[in-house]
């Protein structure tokens, strides 16, 4: 097989086997056939007492629009233009007038759809001339567009794809409980009170179906075998694939026009990972989510110039959660994949979230429902989420400092003498090695307590830095130190062998590290390394016996040789990727003092 030179960072992946999930129609339904499914969940009713903009005592909408039209010369030739074209132009002008009225604080209808006008060069910047202090808000709520109805043909197509077939009530209970216990505390993008009130009232089918299938497919990572077998699936992966196919089918063909709903769905679908050559991977979905956030203006403080009374506190809390969730995913995916950051905090001033942002949505949930579906320690978990966001900011600073093409000047003192450099390298190597060993202690505790089934989608990538340190130490002098570090590395590979039953990415990491070990220990075949790392978690040591004979590698652990080779070459040759093992020689030189200690 042809291989590109090592210095290149671009490779062509060979096609992999076809994944057997229901096919998804790729074309989007025609605009005239779209229907906006009512989520019945988002904006407070204007009559419920919440702080929502209400029409002022001004002329009616029809009269006001008519008066505007009398002042505007028709931009068409009445002799040559079609009536439909004239109607389209009038509708576009009406929309612009409503946007201008909302920007001036004079809305004629209650606004519910978020709209961001942009900075001083945005579409409503001309209105700043009319306001002495130029204090117009950039965040508006405008009236929703006209709803259209899905055609019978498209509805029949969605029916055949199974999007209207909700699982049995017992399965729904388990999926919702799994989602709010294991996903919501770290990805708080859904409003719990809305969906749980729908569910307890027996109206789950009236909840937004796109969001419902997204919740189900992410929650499927944490259900017991009895639940997915009850629905006729053979594994969590199979159940996830089926539910993801319904979610993306609705995303592409369901006519959803609420950009907040599309943003929530994109963040959840960012946890889908299947074949390496699919374009709808986590990187794709987080890119969509970042774009939607910036279109909606969630990166900016809606109260930056003055308090925006048109936006409720509930909306503020949700927007903060959505933005900072998107931000954290951007940072961690950049670390994992070695790709550039999409979000520059210099363009953002959205305030940091608070624990109350997560807890405010559960106050209206009945006690019996809260006890059944929400974790009892959610208040403590909300503080952990804030810490996670703060760590994500620090991670972004590290990535910018070390991996951007044009890097900022380091703040640490430069030009240390040779002795000081050696001392610094030694201390840093000890700290890095201690952190890697601590990761093994944590993961072994999780295994011994029987909690590995509840590990989230981010667990496999978080093992990689520790595994890199173990791999680096495998190059140390002496047989015993090498074997000790290799045992630690095998422990992580054993954990990944369990996680690959749920997460495809765990299989990829196992293959990558098996090939990396083979580079350091040529006497070990890749298949032997993978086979030896398939351990029994009931062992008291939790590590693989290096003296055992190689056993045949099971079929589920095999990787397509050509595709795996190309993937590994791509990851190794990307200097910003956490899989860049080819720089181990340089790292070893920097930590040479440690090896001689």
Residue 9 pLDDT: 53
Residue 536: pLDDT band by 50, 70, 90 thresholds?
very low
Residue 234 pLDDT: 92
Q: Which of 492, 470, 494 is nearest to 482 (CA)?
A: 470
Residue 147 φ/ψ, nearest 5 degrees: -75, 140
407 DSSP assignment = P
CB 507 within 8 A of CB 559: yes
What lies within 8 Å, CB to CB, of 515 at 6+ separation is 526, 564, 565, 568
Residue 425 pLDDT: 85
The answer to whether residue 87 scores a pLDDT higher than 80 is no
d(Cα 162, Cα 233) in Å, to the nearest integer? 15
- Expressed in angstroms, the distance from the first to the final Cα of the chain is 43
d(Cα 536, Cα 386) in Å, to the nearest integer? 36
Residue 148: pLDDT band by 50, 70, 90 thresholds?
low
The CA-atom distances, in angstroms, between 189 and each of 103, 138, 436 are 28, 23, 31
Segment 109-136 shows an average pLDDT of 65
d(Cα 279, Cα 260) in Å, to the nearest integer? 23
Residue 110 pLDDT: 61
The answer to whether residue 92 scores a pLDDT higher than 50 is yes
Q: How big is the CA angle at 57 (ends 54 and 62), to the nearest 5 degrees?
A: 90
Percentage of the chain lying above the pLDDT 90 cut: 41
The answer to whether residue 231 scores a pLDDT higher than 60 is yes
Q: Where are the beta strands (DSSP E) in 300-444?
A: none
The answer to whether residue 112 scores a pLDDT higher than 80 is no
Residue 518 pLDDT: 85
C-beta atoms surrounding 386 within 10 Å = 16
Residue 145: pLDDT band by 50, 70, 90 thresholds?
low
CA 283 to chain centre: 8
Segment 344-364 shows an average pLDDT of 93
Residue 257 pLDDT: 86
Residue 351 pLDDT: 95
The chain-wide mean pLDDT, for the chain, equals 76
Residue 204 pLDDT: 94
Residue 562 pLDDT: 45
d(Cα 213, Cα 24) in Å, to the nearest integer? 15
Residue 330 pLDDT: 96
Residue 409 pLDDT: 66
Residue 403 pLDDT: 82
Number of residues written out for the chain? 597
Residue 306 pLDDT: 75
Residue 364 pLDDT: 85
d(Cα 550, Cα 534) in Å, to the nearest integer? 11
Domain boundary assignment for the chain: 31-142, 417-595
The angle that helices 378-403 and 313-337 make with each other, rounded to 10 degrees, is: 50
Residue 229 φ/ψ, nearest 5 degrees: -70, -30
d(Cα 357, Cα 310) in Å, to the nearest integer? 19
Residue 437 pLDDT: 94
Q: Is 355 helix (H, G, I), strand (E, B) or coil?
A: helix
The answer to whether residue 410 scores a pLDDT higher than 70 is no
On the 0-12 / 13-18 / 19+ scale of CB atoms within 10 A, 405 is exposed
Residues facing residue 115 across a β-bridge? 140
Residue 546: pLDDT band by 50, 70, 90 thresholds?
very low
Residue 305: pLDDT band by 50, 70, 90 thresholds?
confident
CB 106 within 8 A of CB 56: yes
Which of 167-176, 349-358, 471-480 is predicted with the least confidence, judged by mean pLDDT?
Answer: 471-480
The CA-atom distances, in angstroms, between 590 and each of 325, 418, 421, 428, 455 are 36, 12, 9, 10, 34
Q: 105 or 46: which carries more pLDDT confidence?
A: 105
The answer to whether residue 277 scores a pLDDT higher than 80 is no
Q: Which of 575, 534, 538 is nearest to 555 (CA)?
A: 534
C-beta atoms surrounding 56 within 10 Å = 9
Residue 401 pLDDT: 85
The answer to whether residue 397 scores a pLDDT higher than 80 is yes
Q: 278 or 313: which carries more pLDDT confidence?
A: 313
CB 355 within 8 A of CB 382: yes
Q: Which of 247, 236, 269 is nearest to 163 (CA)?
A: 247
294 DSSP assignment = H
CA 161 to chain centre: 25
Which of 185-199, 382-396, 426-440, 560-574 is predicted with the least confidence, judged by mean pLDDT?
Answer: 560-574
C-beta atoms surrounding 317 within 10 Å = 20
Residue 381 pLDDT: 96
Residue 304 pLDDT: 78
d(Cα 323, Cα 89) in Å, to the nearest integer? 35
Q: 493 or 90: which carries more pLDDT confidence?
A: 493
Residue 114: pLDDT band by 50, 70, 90 thresholds?
confident
Residue 132: pLDDT band by 50, 70, 90 thresholds?
low
Segment 477-500 shows an average pLDDT of 88
Segment 207-235 shows an average pLDDT of 94
33 DSSP assignment = G
Residue 33 pLDDT: 40
Segment 484-509 shows an average pLDDT of 90
Residue 142 φ/ψ, nearest 5 degrees: -110, 160
Residue 120: pLDDT band by 50, 70, 90 thresholds?
low
Segment 104-117 shows an average pLDDT of 66
The answer to whether residue 388 scores a pLDDT higher than 70 is yes
d(Cα 226, Cα 229) in Å, to the nearest integer? 5
The answer to whether residue 570 scores a pLDDT higher than 60 is no
CA quadruple 364, 368, 373, 378: dihedral sign: positive
User: Alpha helix locations (H) across 232-281?
Assistant: 236-253, 259-269
Residue 276: pLDDT band by 50, 70, 90 thresholds?
low
Residue 326: pLDDT band by 50, 70, 90 thresholds?
very high
Residue 476 pLDDT: 75
Residue 140 φ/ψ, nearest 5 degrees: -120, 160
């Amino acid at each position: 097989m042809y291989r590109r030179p090592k210095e290149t960072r671009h490779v062509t992946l060979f096609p992999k086997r076809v994944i057997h999930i229901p096919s998804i129609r790729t074309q989007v339904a025609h605009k005239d056939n779209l229907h906006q499914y009512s989520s019945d969940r988002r904006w407070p009713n204007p009559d419920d007492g919440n702080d929502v903009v209400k029409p002022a005592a001004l002329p009616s909408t029809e009269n006001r629009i008519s008066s505007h039209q009398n002042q505007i010369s028709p931009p068409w030739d009445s002799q040559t233009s079609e009536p439909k074209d004239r109607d389209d132009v009038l509708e576009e002008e009406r929309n612009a007038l409503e946007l201008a009225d909302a920007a001036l604080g004079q809305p004629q209808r209650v606004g519910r759809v978020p709209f961001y006008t942009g900075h001083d060069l945005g579409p409503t910047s001309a209105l700043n001339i009319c306001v002495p202090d130029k204090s117009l808000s950039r965040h508006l709520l405008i009236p929703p567009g006209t709803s259209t109805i899905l055609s019978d043909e498209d509805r029949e197509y969605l029916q055949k794809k199974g999007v209207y077939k909700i699982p049995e009530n017992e399965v729904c209970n388990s999926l919702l409980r799994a989602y709010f216990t294991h996903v919501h505390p770290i990805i708080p993008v859904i409003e719990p009170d809305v969906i749980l009130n729908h569910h307890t009232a027996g109206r789950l089918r009236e909840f937004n179906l796109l969001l419902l299938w997204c919740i189900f497919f992410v929650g499927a990572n944490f259900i017991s075998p009895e639940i997915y077998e009850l629905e006729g699936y053979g594994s969590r992966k199979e159940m996830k694939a089926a539910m993801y196919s319904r979610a993306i089918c609705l995303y592409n063909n369901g006519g959803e026009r609420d950009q907040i709903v599309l943003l929530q769905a994109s963040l959840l679908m960012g946890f889908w990972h299947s074949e390496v050559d699919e374009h709808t991977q986590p990187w794709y979905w987080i890119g969509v989510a970042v774009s939607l956030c910036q279109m909606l203006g969630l990166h900016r403080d809606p109260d930056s110039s003055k308090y925006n009374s048109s936006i409720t506190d509930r909306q503020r809390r949700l927007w903060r959660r959505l933005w900072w969730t998107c931000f954290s995913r951007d940072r961690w995916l950049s670390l994992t994949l070695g790709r550039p950051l999409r979000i520059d905090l210099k363009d953002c001033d959205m305030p940091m979230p608070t624990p109350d942002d997560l807890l405010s949505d559960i106050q209206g949930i009945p006690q019996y429902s809260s006890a059944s579906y929400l974790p009892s320690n959610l208040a403590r978990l909300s503080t952990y989420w804030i810490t996670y966001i703060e760590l994500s900011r620090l991670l972004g600073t590290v990535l910018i400092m070390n991996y951007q093409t044009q890097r900022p000047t380091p703040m640490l003192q430069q030009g240390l003498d040779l002795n000081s450099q050696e001392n610094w390298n030694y201390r840093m190597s000890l700290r890095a090695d201690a952190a890697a060993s601590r990761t093994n202690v944590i993961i072994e505790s999780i295994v011994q307590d029987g909690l590995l089934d509840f590990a989230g989608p981010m667990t496999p990538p978080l093992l990689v830095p520790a595994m890199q340190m173990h791999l680096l130490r495998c190059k140390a002098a002496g047989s015993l130190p090498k074997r000790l570090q290799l045992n630690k590395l095998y422990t992580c590979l054993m954990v990944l062998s369990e996680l690959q039953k749920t997460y495809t990415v765990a299989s990829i990491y196992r293959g990558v590290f098996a090939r990396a070990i083979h580079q350091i220990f040529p006497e070990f075949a890749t298949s032997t390394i993978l086979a030896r790392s398939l351990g029994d978690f009931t062992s008291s040591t939790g590590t693989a016996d290096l003296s055992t004979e190689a056993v045949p590698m099971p079929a589920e652990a095999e990787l397509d040789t050509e595709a795996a080779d190309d993937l590994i070459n791509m990851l190794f040759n990307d200097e910003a990727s956490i899989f860049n093992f080819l720089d181990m020689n340089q790292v070893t030189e920097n930590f040479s003092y440690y090896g001689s200690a």
